[in-house]
Structure 1
Amino acid sequence: MENTLIQADDTITLWGIIIVLASLSIFLEQRFNWASKVTGAIIALVSALILSNLGIIPTASSVYDAVWSVIVPLAIPLLLFHVNFKKIWKESGRLLTIFLLSSIGTVTGAITAFFIFKDHIPMLDKLGAMFSGSYIGGGVNFAAMAAKFETPGELVSAAVVADNLMMAILFLLLMMIPAMNFFRKRFSTPHVLEVEKQSSENKGKTQAESFWERKEISLKDIAMSVGTAFLLVIVSLKVAEFFAGIIPSGEQASFFFQLLHGLFGDHYLVLTTLTFIVLALFPSYFEKLNGSQEIGTFLIHIFFVVIGIPASISLIFETAPLLLVFAFIIVIINLIISLLFGKLFKFDLEEILLASNANIGGPTTAAAFAIAKGWRQLIGPILIVGTLGYIIGNYLGTFLGTWFGTIM
């Protein structure tokens, strides 16, 4: 157990701290212009990072696991209830293209970083497979590659710490880019402009306060929103478990079955698909619901708090500082190549950043990014596209790990 002021089993206190930090970040974002520009998501993430690195809260707890397993799945349908369904498929096609181009950046970064550090970091072939797989699909691939290449536990632990800190750094960077004139002058930013237009119509208020203007909401709205979201989460989890149990997977399965397993056995993809189906079947029901966006966004701020907690700066410098540099090279090359391809093929800046985020952090964190920035119409598409990275990442991670092994 960590020697922290608040212990990992003090669940009520940890829940309280997480909720208070999420609430405070939203309050500051809507109260002060500086906080609105920084965004509540960054405030939540950095606040948690500070508390964990000062030894006030632990870097691991069942409370954080509950946020990933309950809060995040619940937030997804809540935030999809009011998306423009007609735009989903158009945006998904565009995002899929830039997502695949962005994955080239991950592969390029992994190869570059491997040849720089292959003589300095032990078992870099295994680590290269883990990071390249993870930085195309997210944490699911990280675990899969660690198991596939039988990476020693202590090496996996060091890699997890480096990955957590790198993710925190990436979020900070991605959140800041849309506000930088350098990028605004060189890329189209329709979603950013839409949010700013709504803000300009409400002078005297911060951008966040204008975007989240007060609306009528009833007890029935809250009950139906949360109840419907929970029902969708439960059904999708059972459906995904059913398909995962009957569809062959692993090294012995064919590509076709692995593809089916990745598509129908993934909880988030099934949840997103099921939500879209009920949106199409019962549009009038969801049109009448108020408050689902607000509830879902609050839950996502809780998620951002938890993202910042495991990023132990002292631990990474004690264990494997070179791993952080290794991860940083992959991430920065992914971002640079994503921006270059995005500029070449005239993608919007929001699409490019979300594609890079979905590669490095997976669909859930990319959706959280879109929510935090107010890019509502991109939430559903990036969840769909990002989930495909689970499949692509496993294959590319396996290929690179095997190739790297022949060089070590």
Structure 2
Amino acid sequence: MIQSPLALVAAIAGVVVLALWLERRRVPGLWKLGATLLAIAIGGVLSNTGLVPPASPIYQAITGPVTDLAIVWLLLAVNLADLRKAGGAMLVAFGIAVAGTALGAFAGAFLFGNAVGDETWKLAGALTGTYSGGSLNFTAVSRAVDMSDALFVGATAADNVVTGLWLAACVVLPRWIGRYYPAPASSEAVPPGPATDHSSQDSSPDDDESAHPLFAGASVSTHQVAILVAAGFAIVIASRAVAAITPGINPVLWLTTLALAAGHVMPSGAKRGALQLGNLALLFFFVVIGIYSRIAEVLAVGVQVLFYALFVVAVHGVLLFLAGRFLRVDIGTLCVASQASVGGPGSALAVAVAGGWRSLILPGILVGLLGYALGTYAGMGIAGALRGFGF
């Protein structure tokens, strides 16, 4: 068993590298799982085979400050001022998509509450967060409500399955129901490219991230990395200081708010590389979650979590596409907005590319980043409301 703290850090870092490599190299049967689920699975193998200890101060550091830094770095990339470029139709569609997610999570608690148990309100909040902008919000809300490790892993697995299914649905739906909606403004073909965020379909292993619209111009210098590290620690420390004097407000909300505020005052050049750093730090968190997981506990979570996640996305989809039909929003905008909500900016990009909607690439990415900003608030709101109902 690995006992040395330094060796544990090296092992966790090695798992992150392996997860990314398996995702990018199209290893049969593995790469489609995505780096997130691979990191959790490999971490679980290390733990359940006794290669790493079940508890360590290293794990606490990663699930605490390191994860806080991941949230900060990802949110620094959000600039709400850019939303004017997204256009009114995309913003309206995204708003309806998020409302559908919240409605589905809230209603689902009454349907699945008995099966899920005492953590129903926590799961509802996490599902609201993740289907309002991506895995960043899932992680933030889950930590804020102190979700059990077994439920976190089970919900993550269900989330990946549902997100993948819905991504595929949004690719084929225009062929099935597109005739009932206005045509997208642009159906110009675009070269295929990777999508990098939430789901198991979120990256293409053969492409270079530097050519990706989400990471364009992301080459960073040592000075820029130093700025991001310093800013990240400063925001984490400041959020904890503010939370200490406002005990009625969850610290994660302060972390989110301060990171968003900092992202709007920092020069854009100083924020370059923030997405990469954030995604990397988040993978360390997922490895530790895998280590914390025991197979028996994960299996005990049961299939009800998958059904709950399916129900949330089903309500989201029905509300969005019915409202879109009534408001005469084109099918491309609806599909891209839905993926920005359910899967994040990378999934929105993937659907825009698959549909050949070049004009929707930037709007999709922008509202996906808006989901990063809003998802944690939405998730905490639904969790708090359901807790008030006695869940």
TM-score bracket for the superposition, by shorter chain length: 0.5 to 0.7
Residues 17-59 of structure 1 show CA distances to partners (whole Å, capped at 9, x for unaligned) of 2111112223344444867654333332332233333343345
Residues 213-233 of structure 1 show CA distances to partners (whole Å, capped at 9, x for unaligned) of 896432212211211221122
1:41 to 36, 46, 57: 36
Aligned partner of 2:153 in structure 1 is 165
Aligned partner of 1:258 in structure 2 is none
Is 1:271 aligned with 2:255? yes
2:244 to 213, 222, 241: 241
- Matches of 1:372 and 1:299 in 2, distance apart? 23
Aligned partner of 1:338 in structure 2 is 316
Between stretches 95-104 and 67-76, larger displacement belongs to 95-104
Cα distance, 1:208–1:350 mapped onto 2, change above 3 Å: farther
Cα distance, 1:286–1:294 mapped onto 2, change above 3 Å: same
Aligned residue identity for 2:18? L
Alignment of 1:295-314 (within 5 A): 295-314=277-296
1:186 to 153, 168, 173: 173
Aligned partner of 1:362 in structure 2 is none
Is 1:281 aligned with 2:268? no
Aligned partner of 1:53 in structure 2 is 48
Once the two structures are TM-superposed, the CA of residue 184 in structure 1 deviates from its matched residue by 0.8
The number of aligned residues is 334
Is 1:106 aligned with 2:123? no
Cα distance, 1:106–1:28 mapped onto 2, change above 3 Å: same
Aligned residue identity for 2:161? L
Aligned partner of 1:70 in structure 2 is 65
- What is the TM-score normalised by the length of structure 2? 0.67
Q: Is the 8 A contact 2:167 2:347 kept in 1?
A: no
Is 1:324 aligned with 2:302? yes
Aligned residue identity for 1:386? T
- Matches of 2:192 and 2:222 in 1, distance apart? 31
Residues 191-210 of structure 1 show CA distances to partners (whole Å, capped at 9, x for unaligned) of xx99964559xxx9713544
- What is the TM-score normalised by the length of structure 1? 0.65
- Matches of 2:163 and 2:6 in 1, distance apart? 30
Q: Is the 8 A contact 2:100 2:316 kept in 1?
A: yes
Aligned partner of 2:164 in structure 1 is 176
Once the two structures are TM-superposed, the CA of residue 114 in structure 1 deviates from its matched residue by 4.5
- Matches of 1:353 and 1:176 in 2, distance apart? 10
The alignment partner of 2:160 has SS state of helix
- Matches of 1:195 and 1:65 in 2, distance apart? 44
The alignment partner of 1:207 has SS state of coil
Once the two structures are TM-superposed, the CA of residue 173 in structure 1 deviates from its matched residue by 1.3
- Matches of 1:59 and 1:66 in 2, distance apart? 14
Once the two structures are TM-superposed, the CA of residue 335 in structure 1 deviates from its matched residue by 2.6
Residues 265-297 of structure 1 show CA distances to partners (whole Å, capped at 9, x for unaligned) of 333332333333334334xx3325543332222
Q: Is the 8 A contact 1:83 1:376 kept in 2?
A: no
- Matches of 2:190 and 2:278 in 1, distance apart? 18
Q: Is the 8 A contact 2:48 2:294 kept in 1?
A: yes
Cα distance, 1:226–1:334 mapped onto 2, change above 3 Å: same
- Matches of 1:179 and 1:132 in 2, distance apart? 21
**Bigger radius of gyration among the two:** 1
- Matches of 2:15 and 2:23 in 1, distance apart? 12
- Matches of 1:128 and 1:55 in 2, distance apart? 31
State the percentage of identical aligned residues: 20
Aligned partner of 2:132 in structure 1 is none
- Matches of 2:365 and 2:336 in 1, distance apart? 11
1:392 to 367, 372, 382: 382
Cα distance, 1:341–1:308 mapped onto 2, change above 3 Å: farther
Gaps of 5+ in 1: 144-158, 245-260, 358-365, 402-408
- Matches of 1:352 and 1:194 in 2, distance apart? 21
